[in-house]
Structure 1
Amino acid sequence: MTPRTALVTGASTGIGFETAIALKAAGFTVYAGARRVEKMEPLKDHGITVLSLDVTLEDSMASAVALVEAAHGRIDVLVNNAGYGSYGSLEEVPLAEGRRQFEVNVIGLARMTQLVIPAMRQARSGRIINISSIGGKMYEPLGAWYHGTKFAVEGMSDSLRLELKPHGIDVVIVEPAGTDTEWGTIAGQGLLATSADGPYREQAHVMAAALASTSGQVISTPASVVAKAIVRAATAKRPRTRYPVGRGAWSVLALRRVLPDRLFDVALWSSYKRFTG
């Protein structure tokens, strides 16, 4: 039986890197794409093909999909993992940065999806796995741009699930909680660069500490655990529509459902302030 083909975006580190390895171990032919191709060199030792892929550039996205489809006819599983977190007060984050946040986290995801749908639709088979976050169901101070993108991914994925169902294509959302990757550290550094010295400085230092706490800490979830959930989503005969994953993911989502907004505001801020003592 011919192995199914998977393309993983944002595969240079963290969740994407581990997902590429896990999908290969599960029997997929795997293509891993990212801007930092040198970071993906170790993936070659696992028999994974690495591609230069920038989800903000049309030619880069179209070339990557065309290469895989030329070799295999279609992409069976697309994992839309490329993304980053842009934090800072809405007042202080330049609009150009806000646009870039949506360009990477939403528009790039949408364009990659557009590119793979025609071959999937023709085969009446395929699976699109969008990496959202529990941040697509909750919110944080100084995270308006980031959470705006994840809320968008959630709504887009739900709509897409319905419109592609008649064509045999599944759409799945994976919602990680805090994951032990470089993501939190980088997001915290960006936050401090934007808002550490202005009118939002108290919140900025609290939030930067909370974001950094996901990197190398026992409270965070290893990226490999998220990768296992993605493999389950890719291989299940009838996948769930959502896979919350990670320490605290289910409890946070449950609290968001049951607590009134203002009470959730208090609980959230209190939980974050403990990171600064």
Structure 2
Amino acid sequence: MAVKVALVTGASAGIGEATALELQRLGYVVYAGARRVDRMAGLRDKGIRTLALDVTDEESARQAVATIEAEQGRIDVLVNNAGYGSYGAVEDVTLSEGQRQFDVNVFGAIRLIQLVTPVMRRQRSGRIINVSSVGGEIHTPFGAWYHGSKFALEGMSNVLRIDLAPFGIDVVVVQPGSTKSEWSGIAAEHLRETSGRGPYARAATNHAKAMTTGPLHDNASDPSVIAKTIGASVTARRPRTRYVTGYYARPVLTLRRVLPERGFDRIISRSMG
């Protein structure tokens, strides 16, 4: 039986790094991709293959997939994990920054899907895991660009799931809740820089503080929790279409589904300062 091969993007830290290790533990030949290869030295020391991969660069993505195909002759799993959160009032965020948010979170994932799909089609098998967020179904203050990108990724995943099923390719969405990583600190700092002055200053400052202190931050799940869920989605004989995982994920999605929209708006605004 052929050894199975996985590519994990955004693998230099957090969920991506933990997922690379989890898939290796499950017996996969793992390729870890990130812009900063030096930050993946620990993975390389553990026998994981590392690749320079900028998901926003067509040639970088093409070269990464070509390298794996040349070395292994197959690609069984793609974990689209690369992403970040661009927070700020819509009128304060430049369109170029909004476009970058979509280029990383949406077009970067789709670019890799386009590249691995022909390989998986020839194999008549494959699994694409799109790491979204509970933010793909809910909304929080100042997160219009971020949530918009995750809503888009989830919508495209729904269609891809239908289109690729006849070729034996599964498309799965993973929706993490609050997770210990650099993500919240980077998003909070971007919010302060973007809307920390002017008419939104007070609300933006309070929201940035809530992202980096308090229960949501203090009780955040370790990235290994999300990685184990991704591992389960990869190895399941018949995977679910969505996996909800991590701190606060199920409760907040339940609130979103049962409350009227304005009621949810009030609760989420208060909880985020």
- Scaled by the length of structure 2, the TM-score of the pair is 0.98
Structure 1 unaligned runs (5+)? none
1:13 Cα deviation after fit: 0.6
Q: Distance in 1 between matches of 2:235 and 2:180?
A: 24
What is the SS of the residue equivalent to 2:90?
coil
1:210 Cα deviation after fit: 2.1
Matched, 1:174 2:178: no
Q: 1:177-197: CA deviations, max 9, x gaps?
A: 111000000010011001001
1:216 Cα deviation after fit: 10
Q: Distance in 2 between matches of 1:215 and 1:111?
A: 36
1:141 Cα deviation after fit: 1.3
Matched, 1:107 2:94: no
| Contact 2:77/2:126, CA 8 A, preserved across alignment | yes
Q: Distance in 1 between matches of 2:214 and 2:172?
A: 24
Specify the alignment match of 2:27 in structure 1.
27
1:218 Cα deviation after fit: 3.3
Seen in structure 2, the aligned counterparts of structure 1 residues 243 and 213 have a Cα distance that, compared at 3 Å, is farther
| Contact 2:211/2:217, CA 8 A, preserved across alignment | no
Specify the alignment match of 1:263 in structure 2.
263
- Taking the TM superposition and a 5 Å limit, the aligned residue runs for 1:175-214 are 175-213=175-213
Specify the alignment match of 1:64 in structure 2.
64
| Contact 1:126/1:168, CA 8 A, preserved across alignment | yes
Letter in 2 for 1:148: G
What is the SS of the residue equivalent to 1:179?
coil
Corresponding residue pairs, total: 273
Q: 1:238-276: CA deviations, max 9, x gaps?
A: 001000101111111111000000000111111112xxx
| Contact 1:244/1:250, CA 8 A, preserved across alignment | yes
Structure 2 unaligned runs (5+)? none
What is the SS of the residue equivalent to 2:218?
coil
Bigger shift: residues 218-227 or 6-15: 218-227
Specify the alignment match of 2:132 in structure 1.
132
Letter in 1 for 2:88: G
What is the SS of the residue equivalent to 1:221?
coil
Specify the alignment match of 2:41 in structure 1.
41
| Contact 2:178/2:216, CA 8 A, preserved across alignment | no
| Contact 1:8/1:32, CA 8 A, preserved across alignment | yes
1:213 Cα deviation after fit: 3.4
1:207 Cα deviation after fit: 1.5
**Fraction of identical pairs, as percent:** 56
| Contact 1:31/1:51, CA 8 A, preserved across alignment | yes
